[in-house]
């Protein structure tokens, strides 16, 4: 059993992004899933992602995607039982070498949420740059090999099955010629 997790809080993304990612998972990702868990209640910040660890604790396989990505090929290789997220190989380390646009695990990882919210004020100050740094410094994790690239850092179409449109690039995601064949159009 596979559960897809999406976070759509705040007003950054409209419903099209939710529908689009599910369309791409089925149409191009070649991944069958049993359930979709969408987190909609939140403040609209990256901290809302932590709710997935509180809400998704069954003994099943989980696969999380940010909404600002293009799936253009098979993604079954992203399923991991161990807690796994992206190594941001496409850029310098910055404050963390991690990127949480794709995360996979099996079972209960609620300790990730609990540890952060045990002292929420302290955690938000210490990890004001987001949950990637929190995971990097506080949580045991595995990383994927090179499984995607970031359009922000390299505007060349690559052979990977996933392209990230982070750093505000989601606004351009729908306008590029090469992305058109992967997008859901009404």
Q: Residue 186 has what pLDDT?
A: 60
User: How large is the average pLDDT for residues 136-158?
Assistant: 97
**Tens digits of residue pLDDT in 21-43:** 999 999 999 999 999 999 999 99
**Tens digits of residue pLDDT in 91-136:** 988 889 999 999 999 999 999 999 999 999 999 999 999 999 999 9
Nearest to 88 by CA among 102, 68, 72, 74: 102
Structure tokens at 37: 């868990």
Q: Are 154 and 121 in contact (CB under 8 A)?
A: no
Question: Residue 15 and residue 27: Cα distance in Å, rounded?
Answer: 18
Q: What is the mean pLDDT of the chain?
A: 96
β-bridge partners, 70? 163
Q: Residue 95 has what pLDDT?
A: 86
Identify the structural domains of the chain with CATH numbers, from first to last.
2-182 (3.90.550.10)
Structure tokens at 24: 């791409």
Q: How many residues does the chain have?
A: 186
Does 15 have pLDDT greater than 80?
yes
Does 168 have pLDDT greater than 90?
no
User: How large is the average pLDDT for residues 70-96?
Assistant: 95
Predicted TM-score of the model (pTM): 0.96
């Amino acid at each position: 059993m596979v559960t897809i997790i999406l976070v759509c809080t705040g007003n950054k993304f409209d419903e099209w992004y939710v529908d689009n990612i599910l369309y791409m998972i089925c149409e191009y990702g070649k991944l069958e899933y049993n359930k979709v868990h969408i987190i909609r209640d939140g403040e609209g910040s990256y901290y809302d992602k932590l709710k997935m660890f509180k809400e998704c604790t069954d003994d099943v396989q989980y696969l999380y995607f940010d909404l600002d990505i293009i799936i253009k090929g098979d993604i079954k290789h992203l399923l991991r039982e161990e807690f796994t997220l992206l190594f941001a190989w496409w850029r310098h380390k910055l404050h963390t070498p991690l990127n949480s646009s794709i995360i996979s695990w099996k079972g209960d990882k609620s300790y990730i949420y609990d540890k952060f919210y045990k002292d929420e004020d302290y955690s938000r100050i210490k990890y004001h740059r987001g949950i990637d740094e929190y995971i990097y410094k506080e949580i045991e994790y595995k990383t994927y090999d090179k499984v995607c690239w970031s359009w922000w850092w390299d505007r060349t179409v690559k052979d990977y099955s996933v392209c990230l449109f982070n750093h505000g690039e989601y606004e351009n995601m729908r306008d590029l010629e090469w992305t058109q064949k992967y997008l859901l159009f009404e």
